[in-house]
């Protein structure tokens, strides 16, 4: 499987004027607000809307967490319906510093497609927005299996030989609150690296050197070659940490798709708070 030829994070200047580029709006909210409604109210000109729970996640009732990876055929069908083809370059964004759009970009890059996060996302765009839904002609997108070397299991996540990072907020990591999953706390041995702290107040990524120091202080890259596993609540925002790792030269890392929603559902699994 070919590797992407574009960087994991790009800015609007990089994206403008490039042929074969698709802007993808991947807004989704944990509190239940409608990403589609937000898209229709205003989005980047020419962007298409990608529905996370329809195309970027599988059946949550299969005992694999709230947002397990979908079947490759489901993902391919979604991309084709939206108008994305294998040879397109996809630039994804949201209004939360990329923490949701990262799921789409990680899925595309993991399967060898050219895709990147838009630095700053919607909040960093100064021009007029477009309203309504946009339609593109159906694309031609191949179903490709999720590469095993980019995924981690529960067994991998509890293995202290790996550097395991938790992308959730500190209060969820410490077990002070748990708004949605069965139990509060974190996987024993995991280090908290909130993905929302990869960006500044404008939604743009921190300087590469600062990001690199942040990850290395959490044990990433020590010793060199140590496997890195990222998780969050359901495997969505964990992808932001994986893209940040790649952006600062410490990636690619592995995703634990079931994340805390799968792990915490086992009443006998040990937790830390």
The position carrying tokens 């890392």 is: 253
Distance in angstroms (rounded) separating the CA atoms of residues 156 and 165: 12
Could you give the CA distance from residue 120 to residue 97 in angstroms, rounded to a whole number? Answer: 6
Q: Can you say whether the dihedral through the CA atoms of 76, 10, 207, 200 is positive or negative? A: negative
Q: Tell me how far apart the alpha carbons of residues 113 and 106 are, in angstroms, rounded to a whole number.
A: 10
Is 232 one of the annotated active-site residues of the chain? yes
Q: 247: closest CA among 112, 114, 142, 117?
A: 117
Report whether the peptide linkage leading into residue 223 is cis, meaning its omega lies within 30 degrees of zero. yes
Q: 195, 232, 239, 248: which is the annotated catalytic residue? A: 232
Which residues participate in catalysis according to the annotation? 232
């Amino acid at each position: 499987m070919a590797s992407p030829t574009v960087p994991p994070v790009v800015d609007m200047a990089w994206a403008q004027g490039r042929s074969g580029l698709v802007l993808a709006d991947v807004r989704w909210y944990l509190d239940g607000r409608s990403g589609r409604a937000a898209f229709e109210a205003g989005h980047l000109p020419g962007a298409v809307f990608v529905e996370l729970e329809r195309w970027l996640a599988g059946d949550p009732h299969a005992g694999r967490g709230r947002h397990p990876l979908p079947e490759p055929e489901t993902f391919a069908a979604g991309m084709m319906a939206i108008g994305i083809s294998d040879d397109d370059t996809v630039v994804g964004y949201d209004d939360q510093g990329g923490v949701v759009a990262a799921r789409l970009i990680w899925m595309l890059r993991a399967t060898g497609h050219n895709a990147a996060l838009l630095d700053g996302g919607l909040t960093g765009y100064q021009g007029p927005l477009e309203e309504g839904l946009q339609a593109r002609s159906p694309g031609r997108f191949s179903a490709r299996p999720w590469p095993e070397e980019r995924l981690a299991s529960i067994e991998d996540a509890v293995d202290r030989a790996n550097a395991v990072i938790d992308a959730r907020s500190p209060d969820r990591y410490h077990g002070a609150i748990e708004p949605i999953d069965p139990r509060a706390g974190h996987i024993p041995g995991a280090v908290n690296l909130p993905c929302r702290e990869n960006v500044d107040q404008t939604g743009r990524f921190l300087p590469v050197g600062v990001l690199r120091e942040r990850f290395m202080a959490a044990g990433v890259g020590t010793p060199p070659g140590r496997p890195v596993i990222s998780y969050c609540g359901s495997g969505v925002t964990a992808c932001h940490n994986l893209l940040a790792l790649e952006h600062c030269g410490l990636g690619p890392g592995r995703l634990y798709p079931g994340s805390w929603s799968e792990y915490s559902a086992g009443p006998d699994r040990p937790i830390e708070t």
